[in-house]
Amino acid sequence: MSGKLRLGVNIDHVATVRNARGSAYPDPVRAAKIAEEAGADGITAHLREDRRHISDADIEGLMAVLTTPLNFEMAATDEMQKIALRHRPHAVCIVPEKREERTTEGGLEVAREENRLAHFIAPLREAGCRVSIFIAADARQIEAAHRIGAQVIELHTGAYCDFHAEGHFAERDAELKRLREMAAYGHSLGLEVHAGHGLTYETVQPVAAFPEVMELNIGHFIIGEAIFRGLAPAIREMRRLMDEARA
Ligand code: PXP
């Protein structure tokens, strides 16, 4: 187990800045290339139903130029399934999506939608995509993700990061314990375990230290930090912290 922890850099919010002005820049595809050069092991992009950040053209551009795997985040809708089947990215991460939310607030309710999701992901798997399911650290959801045939689970670290930011350290530590136990549980079922959402330089190390976690997907903090220190140095510092925690 263990091995090098992969860093997937999520470039959605480069597109957020671009779209704030309806301009052609900054270009998320250019950001993805810089991220690869700075040590990202993969690029993550979420094509939302409302196209608030990443666009269809961005996905085309990423597929054309990336030399590392694309982790394509999407809701479980027919439209997104068609797009994924056209591009056949390395990985598809199924996330819940609500129009009114600011970001992906919770994990997917796999247990409640098991049948539909099993049928939904089957063609993606047949097309050669690794299917990942974004879920809370909850045994019921992990078992359901396993039953529907997902190869990967991504554990939602948002609650852990929020508790940290709000200074609720007892709740933070309880959530971290849950994440650690559920990472081990998912791994014991044969699932590849990833984690992400809301991670920062302050919160990344305890999660990076879980030996069962193979990949972290990090976006908003890195893109924000890039304003101050540049994108490549912001990524390299995240990489350094991850490697330090893992060592
Ligand atoms: N993982 C998943 C499944 C996500 O939906 C997101 C946000 O798009 C992230 C990771 C990255 O979260 P953040 O931008 O807060 O680092």
**Quick check: is 155 in a domain?**
yes
**Quick check: is 171 in a domain?**
yes
Q: Does any ligand 1 atom lie closer than 6 A to the CB of residue 75?
A: no
Catalytic residues: 46, 73, 197
**Quick check: is 85 in a domain?**
yes
The tens digit of pLDDT for each residue in 9-37 reads 999 999 999 999 999 999 999 999 999 99
Q: Does any ligand 1 atom lie closer than 6 A to the CB of residue 72?
A: no
**Quick check: is 213 in a domain?**
yes
Alpha carbon distance 186, 212 (integer Å): 9
**Quick check: is 175 in a domain?**
yes
In the predicted structure, residue 222 carries a pLDDT above the cut 80: yes
Domain count, the chain: 1
Kindly tell me the sign of the dihedral angle through the C-alpha atoms of 137, 140, 145, 151: positive
Q: Which of 16, 43, 39, 19 is nearest to 29 (CA)?
A: 43
**Quick check: is 150 in a domain?**
yes
Q: Is 51 helix (H, G, I), strand (E, B) or coil?
A: coil
Which atom from ligand 1 is nearest to the alpha carbon of 134?
Answer: 3
Q: Domain range spanning residue 151? A: 6-246
Beta strands in the chain (DSSP E): 6-10, 42-46, 70-74, 91-94, 130-135, 152-156, 192-196, 213-218
**Quick check: is 64 in a domain?**
yes
**Quick check: is 1 in a domain?**
no
Which atom from ligand 1 is nearest to the alpha carbon of 223?
Answer: 14
Q: Does any ligand 1 atom lie closer than 6 A to the CB of residue 154?
A: yes
The CATH number for 93's domain is 3.20.20.70
The tens digit of pLDDT for each residue in 161-190 reads 999 999 999 999 999 999 999 999 999 999
Q: Does any ligand 1 atom lie closer than 6 A to the CB of residue 152?
A: no
